[in-house]
Amino acid sequence: MNNANSAILTVQGLSKSFGGVKAVNGLSFSVKKNHIHAIIGPNGAGKSTLFNLITGIISPDEGEVRFFSADITSLRSDHIAKHGISRTFQNIRLFPDMTVFETVLIGTYLLTGAKLAPALFLTKIFRENERAAKQRVEEILKFVGLWEMRDEYAAQLSYGNQRRVEIARALATKPQLLLLDEPTAGMNPKETKELMDLFTSVNNEGITILIIAHDMHLVNTLSDQITVINFGEKLVEGTAEMIQKHPAVIEAYMGKVEANA
């Protein structure tokens, strides 16, 4: 049994090159169960590539990714999701002709393993799975504050609510680890605060969060641990208080944030 301080995710010596450029270079870190762990760094530091490696969208040149004790390095994205890892993307990905309810329902199909034949013939097990899936979608939409918008087209919602739909769809897969790639980018302060509250609620449900963010207020407020990367390598790791004072971080990252503020 895994205790509260055990590593849910371990990245060891991970490397990935594109055309001779090392996007991720020998990166190692671990994420503790039930923590909110932030990945920060300048643009082009390799953060999104790291998420793509963890979730099986691309394969590493070297290194491994372990989820609890399982080596998931070479697994396909859908198999990694079935292990209990889900994610959102920096660019919102919603179908323009699907409602909020339908969009989130898609996430449940990974769990039900719906097959064509049972669906066509409406077998008893299909009907039971479909009923359970719809019940779960209702619970999730109420949890994220979107139940009243369930019949609206997801892609026509406000930017902040589209982000909520993405998070709800990710939660529909019952993840143990949720990866969030710049989830508050482009949001106003009110929307950002509302999503920060949602992340806290998700974490309080026992879901570990790994988040990429440029918003240092979000990072400093929510994170139990922060890993700073630059040029695909780990610069430093620690608590928000430690990171804020580290000279290498100030030079590589925080100084640029202050300059752009």
Tell me the C-alpha distance between 73 and 11, whole Å: 9
In this prediction, residue 119 carries a pLDDT of: 47
Express each pLDDT in 192-250 by its tens digit: 999 999 999 999 999 999 999 989 899 999 999 999 999 999 999 999 988 888 887 77
Tell me the C-alpha distance between 213 and 182, whole Å: 5
Asked whether the predicted pLDDT for residue 112 surpasses 70, the reply is no
Q: Hey, what are 17's tokens?
A: 């090159």
Tell me the C-alpha distance between 20 and 31, whole Å: 29
Asked whether the predicted pLDDT for residue 14 surpasses 80, the reply is yes
Q: Hey, what are 23's tokens?
A: 């996007």
Would strands 208-212 and 36-40 be described as parallel, antiparallel, or unpaired?
parallel
Element (H, E) at 11: strand 7-18
Tell me the C-alpha distance between 204 and 168, whole Å: 16
Express each pLDDT in 131-180 by its tens digit: 888 999 999 999 999 999 999 999 999 999 999 999 999 999 999 999 99
Express each pLDDT in 20-69 by its tens digit: 899 999 999 999 999 999 999 988 899 999 999 999 999 999 999 999 98
Tell me the C-alpha distance between 190 and 50, whole Å: 29
Q: 1-84+175-261, superfamily in CATH?
A: P-loop containing nucleotide triphosphate hydrolases (3.40.50.300)
Contact assessment for residue 81 and residue 146, using Cβ atoms and an 8 Å cutoff: no
Contact assessment for residue 211 and residue 36, using Cβ atoms and an 8 Å cutoff: yes
In this prediction, residue 122 carries a pLDDT of: 58
Where in the chain are the domains? 1-84+175-261, 94-173
User: What are the backbone dihedrals phi and psi of residue 37, each rounded to the nearest 5 degrees, phi first?
Assistant: -115, 125
Asked whether the predicted pLDDT for residue 87 surpasses 50, the reply is yes
In this prediction, residue 114 carries a pLDDT of: 53
